[in-house]
Amino acid sequence: MKDGRYLRLMVAFGFLWIIQPTSANAAATKDDIKSAIVQIFVESIAHDDVHPWQFKKIASGTGSGVIIKGNQILTAAHVVDNAISIYVRKTGSHRRYKALARYIGDASDLAIITVDDDAFFHGTSTLQIGTLPKLGDAVTTWGFPKGGSQVALTKGIVSRIDFYEYAHSGFDNLVCQVDAAINSGASGGAAVVDGRLAGITFQSLNNDSADNVGYVIPVPVIKQFLEDIQDGEVNGVPAIAIRVAHMENPHLRDFYGMTASTGGVLVTDSQGEPENEMNAVKVNDVLLQIDGFPIGNDGTVPFQSGDRINALFYITKHQIGDTIPIRILRERKEVVIDYALKYTLRDVMLITRHFSGFVPDHEVVGGFVFLELNEDYLENIYGEYASPDWMGKLSENYTRQWWRDKETAVFISSILADEVNIGYDAFEERRVVRVNGTEIRNLDALRQAVIANKSRFHVFEFDDPYGQIVLDRQLVIERAPIIKDRYKLGD
């Protein structure tokens, strides 16, 4: 389960098995589907969010997965997150087989795990990947939710198709909402429509007023992931690092030269875009079309359901390295730019989003533990409670000038008590903006500012008028091995 801002989304940690149809185009029977669903057993361990040189307790969990072509098991990424051991069991078997997480796509919450022992696949089937279902389609979900040991089946309908937040990564992407129950342990299981894989179950709405609201990772997201890994690595889901404003107000539209029949959104922030690149999006551009689809004044585009969906959907369908046409209104003239999809949101976010195996970078100076702010810290430390104002304000921002200098927010996560830092207890959770006169844009800049300093004192400044930390440089050096040994900091 994700805490903090994502408390409303409950990740259902589970696995699924699928069976191979008798022919390439045949819809799978219930027996076929059941034999393609697998149960996944995971032992995992993560680094401590405040003291990254330490580990949390080893956690045990189960999930679901489904066998697809090539003897690959498709599951949800959060099922195998931080895994140190993975075993799988096929439906009807008592034996567990050792497995390996081959590919993990955190942004789309999908993963491929493999089993080297071919005996595992004897008597199993593969499930054919179908298409994006339609509203009202009957859907069955298969997996191993908690509450029993056997494979479980639930029935419902596709009640909504939307662009919504993925709890695992914090990014938005296409989802199918279903009214079939998706409980803890079922994540990674199969959602089946007309005998074909329509999606992977992965989270549910955790809300007292909402019953049986589950979410499925649909086929377009699955296909983007499977195409992505064809080159042997996960490049991720492409993004465009801009902010836009709706243009429903007629005076705003008239000011930018839009006609009554023209839809579009105004670019208000392009911090993630190179300033001098010809095909970059710029502030005060009006986005009219994306990938050939006209954009409405509310930032949506026409969708197959007969409704509309966030225009960013047509970016997430592509691969890193693709180029798409974007029609814009720039200084009242329409132009089409060939926009290159070169980066993901993870590349440009000021606050690092979660990804599997994440190890927070840190530096200890004079007993002060400096971290780069990340979503794991925010969610796991504060939970549903409000974090400090500066953290909340930064948590949704894009980094500036990412293509030249990766900017992050550096702060003090904890203070390891020692004589060198007496009297500075109140400086926990303060953002560092300058060290010895050097602007701190990331943790490496802090390290360099400390190493380069030859004066008597280290001076740390913060983003509010709360004061300064001044440390005796020589005492910092002398106390470093003592602090390291006392707090078991490691190498």
Segments making up each domain of the chain, as ranges: 1-233, 243-340, 362-486
Pick from 177-181, 347-351, 459-463: least confident: 347-351
pLDDT of 13 above 60: no
Query: Residues 119-127: what's their mean pLDDT?
Result: 95
pLDDT of 41 reads 97
How confident is the model at residue 404, as a pLDDT? Answer: 52
What is the pLDDT confidence band of residue 301, given thresholds at 50, 70 and 90? very high
Give mean pLDDT, residues 295-316: 92
Q: What is the pLDDT of residue 370?
A: 97
Q: What is the pLDDT of residue 20?
A: 38
Average pLDDT over residues 231-255: 93
What's the average model confidence in pLDDT over 350-369?
Answer: 90
In angstroms, rounded to a whole number, what is the distance separating the alpha carbons of residues 256 and 258?
6
What is the rounded average pLDDT of the residues 318-341? Answer: 95
CATH architecture of 1-233: Beta Barrel (2.40)
Pick from 88-102, 203-217, 304-318, 454-468: least confident: 203-217
Residue 474 has pLDDT above 90, yes or no: yes
Q: Is the pLDDT of residue 73 over 80?
A: yes
Domain 1-233 and domain 362-486 have a common topology: no
pTM of the full predicted structure? 0.88
Cα–chain-centroid distance for residue 88?
A: 25
Q: Is the pLDDT of residue 10 over 50?
A: no
Predicted confidence at residue 15, as pLDDT, reads: 36
Class of domain 362-486: alpha beta
Catalytic residues: 78, 109, 187
The CATH topology of domain 243-340 is Pdz3 Domain (2.30.42)
